[in-house]
Structure 1
Amino acid sequence: MGHSFRRDAQTELEFSASELTGALGDSVTVLPLLVALAATTSVSLAHVLVGFGVFQIIWGLYYGMPLSVEPMKALVGLAIVGSLSYPELAAAGLLAGGVLLIVGSFGLVGHLQRVVGEPVIRGVQFAVALLLLEAAVDLSLGAPGVAVAGLALVCLLALLGYRQSSVLVVLALGGVAAVLAAGVPAPRLPELTLFPAGSPTISGAALEGTVAQLGMTIGNAAIATALLCGDLYDRDVSADRLSQSMGVTCLAAIPAGGVPMCHGSGGLAGKYAFGARTAGANVLLGVGYIALALVATGALLAAFPMALLGVLLVVVAIELGRAAFDPIPFTDRRALALVAGVGVVGLVVNVGIAFVLGAVVFWLLSE
């Protein structure tokens, strides 16, 4: 059996400027993806933000450190580009949550990663990056001038040393434009109903997406995050324990209108890089997400400039693509080719088939 699902007794809370900037480090990829998802599917942004806010606080206090809570990028990315409807996304998230809870409870996470292979997992990540880049181009075509101006601003901020913060600046500008167009909404809590954006629908696409997402989650959100907990925060948190908490998150959040969530290693690294050292960063970010949920109306979202949304997705896609290749040594030509191959097949055909073919090729090369 795996590690018991228990609370961490070393919870530390600090509310300081560094904890606040650290909290923002985890929102760099989260907010653009959530806004894009809400703009392209039937999901309620307010319900999704409440889910992220609640679980940021819960897992920060539970683990006693600034653990990240991010969208499951393969599933959310597929929904943004239209490969999954929200009901299919909900079904895939529930399936993934159930599997993660089971494999974590039986200590099977490490075994599954060895079967799949890291190049295949990274290939799925690269495929999602390519799909998001394609969607970004489509969104930008409606107002190319706005898109070019947004990209120029991102490039300028990156040259000045604010590469990660540039996403939040563009998001804020889009928010200001939306408020000017739609007005300031009156704060209100989202309604508490079961599956407010549609009941889960199991389909072939949902099953394929689940398989691909589990590959990414086991490698990037469970094993890589467990290693970072030790490297950055000197905490012994097992990958199986993280798998369990991700399973609980998905199974609890999705019926309330949320989306599939995980403990991404990129978000944890982002929090550390921006100064977060305690669970205080999670509490601050959780409160911030819930505050945003109070004013996240459909009218405001509809007024958000789609071309700027395209710019945000370009930046997220580049970061995802870079992260897919970073862990692979430049000298390992076969692994690099496998990552690229899975990514291209995922773009041209679909991510589920790319994942299965990649796993078969990895197994054949390992023989």
Structure 2
Amino acid sequence: MKTLTTKQVAGELSGAFADLGTFLPIVIAVLTLHLMDPSGLFIGFGLFALSVAVIYRRPIPVQPMKAAAAVVIADNLTAGAIAVTGLLLGATVLLLTLTGLVSRIGKKIPQSVLTGIQLGVGLILAWAGAGLILQEPMIGLMSLVLLLLLLPTRFKPVAAILVILGSVIWSGIDRPGQMPEITIGFYLPQWVSIDWSDAWTPAETILLPQLALTLTNAMIVTAAIARRLFEDQARPITPRQLGMSTGVLNLLLAPLGAFPMCHGAGGLVVQHRFGARTGLAPAIFGITCLSFGLLLGPNALQLLLLIPLAAVGALLVFAGLDLAMSKELTQGSRENLPVIVITGLVCLLLNVALGLLVGIAIEYLRRRNGEKALP
């Protein structure tokens, strides 16, 4: 591996913490509700991210599974039920990967549909970012302005980290006396007792919707975007590889109290947009999570609450719009435009999995009508 310049290392550092828009709200909610042991949760993210850094040597993100998180938070699932969820999802993803189903699906998706999904994921990121900005408009708008000022300058590689640090400082000045007392210790994860009677809720309400998101957004779409962002790589990242890492690592880490985790196209875009290019970015994120879990344990939540989500929202808006405005959308064939736009809107208004299916159907009809029109 070639030596990185100071500027490149700064970009890796900035990119490593740019993808907090999904991570922070879910982790804060889970810990606030006391659903999981903080040490196990952070150590799980840390080990997953470090494994990704070694396996891919690219900024492939590590994120909590969104559909699983929604049910976990809404139903107040126990730590045992969450562990069973991770085991079920890990085993199912691994099975679908080993049978080759994911790879076959990935190869069949038309380029217009992939561009439409890219548009949809970008809009989802931007919309989510706007929602976070509205929680604290002053901090959010100031973060947007700071990004606008930093991105055209030599400070671009550290733009994300400067925005986050600046927002924390501003929040501290605006709310004096809010700094929590942090006690450093040594905390190990608690082995979760697995009770398969807890499997009914995950199997009934989580498995199918989460699989739809994981197979599309976390594997197929992430691999497609990685091919575009890292065109010079000798061995392209494939859906099969992403499925293997998702399945195996969830199976290994769930009993340690880890939250169900996967990769994500949006996270890849955000990290790349703010300077991440190598495995150093997930390694930095992984070491940070390990430090939170091992050294802070139950105190980690208080430290996370110092980061204003509105500042994270500003990062999401910029990265999302950057992804949405692809060359295929702005400079591509007009014949593909309806497929791209409809696919993107379905992804935004419903979900990525349904957007994929609708896009494929529309592209099929377009090609079929085109063939009929030929003399």
TM value normalised by structure 2 = 0.70
Cα deviations by residue, 1:95-138 (Å, 9 ceiling, x for unpaired): 66445423432444442113343444454454444344444444
Q: How is 1:180-195 mapped onto 2 (pairs within 5 angstroms)?
A: 181-188=178-185, 189=187, 191-194=189-192
Alignment partner, residue 342 of structure 2: 341
Structure 2 residue aligned with 1:214: 215
Query: Given the superposition, is the C-alpha separation of residues 241 and 173 from structure 1 closer, same or farther in structure 2, using an over 3 Å criterion?
Result: same
1:66-104 per-residue CA deviation (whole Å, 9 max, x = no partner) reads 23341358x549958x99878699888766644542343
Work out which of the residue numbers 295, 301, 315 in structure 2 matches 1:298: 301
- Change in CA separation of 1:31 and 1:79 when aligned onto 2, cut-off 3 Å: same
Identical residues among aligned pairs (%): 18
Contact residue 222 and residue 263 of structure 2 kept, 8 A? yes
- Please, which moves more after superposition, 86-95 or 154-163? 86-95
Instruction: Identify unmatched segments of 5+ residues in structure 1.
Output: 1-11
Cα 1:266–1:236 shift into 2, 3 Å = closer
Match of 1:8 in 2: none
Deviation sequence 1:327-366 (CA, Å, 0-9, x none)? 6362223444333323323433444443432332233334
Structure of greater Rg: 2
Residue 24 (str. 1) matches residue 22 (str. 2): no
Which has the higher mean CA deviation after the structures are superposed, 291-300 or 83-92? 83-92
Residues 151-178 of structure 1, C-alpha deviations (whole Å, 9 max, x = no match): 2112111232444532222222344546
| Letter aligned with residue 300 of structure 2 | T
Q: How does 1:229-248 map to 2 (within 5 A)?
A: 231-232=232-233, 234-235=234-235, 239-248=239-248
Amino acid at match of 1:298: L
Distance in 2 (alpha carbons) for counterparts of 1:149 and 1:14: 35
Distance change (3 Å), C-alpha of 1:173 and 1:135: same
Q: What's the CA shift for 1:215?
A: 1.7
C-alpha change, 1:149 and 1:272, in structure 2 (3 Å) is closer
Does the 8 Å CA contact 1:96/1:247 hold for their aligned counterparts?
yes
Q: C-alpha distance in 1, partners of 2:102/2:326?
A: 22
Shift in alpha-carbon separation, 1:246–1:213, aligned structure 2, 3 A: closer
Describe the SS at the equivalent of 1:213.
helix
Q: Out of 260-269 and 184-193, give the one that drifted further.
A: 260-269
- Equivalent position of 1:151 in the other structure: 144
**Cross-structure match for 2:134:** 141
Q: How does 1:192-341 map onto structure 2 within 5 Å?
A: 192-194=190-192, 201-202=202-203, 207-222=208-223, 224-225=225-226, 231-232=232-233, 234-235=234-235, 239-255=239-255, 256-262=257-263, 266=268, 270=272, 276=278, 283-293=283-293, 294-295=295-296, 297-305=300-308, 309-326=309-326, 328=328, 330-341=331-342
Counterpart CA distance in 2 for 1:262 and 1:246 is 7
Which string of whole-angstrom CA distances, capped at 9 and with x for unpartnered residues, describes residues 274-320 of structure 1? Answer: 574xx666655532332244446233334543xxx133224224423
CA distance in 1, matches of 2:268, 2:58: 11
Amino acid of the structure 2 residue aligned with 1:299: Q
1:25-61 superposed Cα distances (whole Å, 9 cap, x missing partner): 5414333431233245557675444223212333444
The alignment partner of 2:202 has SS state of: coil
CA change 1:362–1:184 in 2 (3 A) is: farther
> 1:169 maps to what in 2?
162
| Whole-Å separation in 2 of the counterparts to 1:280 and 1:93 | 26
Distance 1:135 1:236 in 2: 29
Per the TM alignment, residue 214 of structure 1 is displaced from its structure 2 partner at its CA by 1.4
Q: What's the C-alpha RMSD, in Å, of the aligned pairs?
A: 4.5
Structure 1 residues 254 and 302: CA distance shift in structure 2, 3 A: same
Aligned residue in 1 for 2:62: 71
Distance across 2 between alignment mates of 1:150 and 1:228: 26
1:111 aligns with 2:104: yes
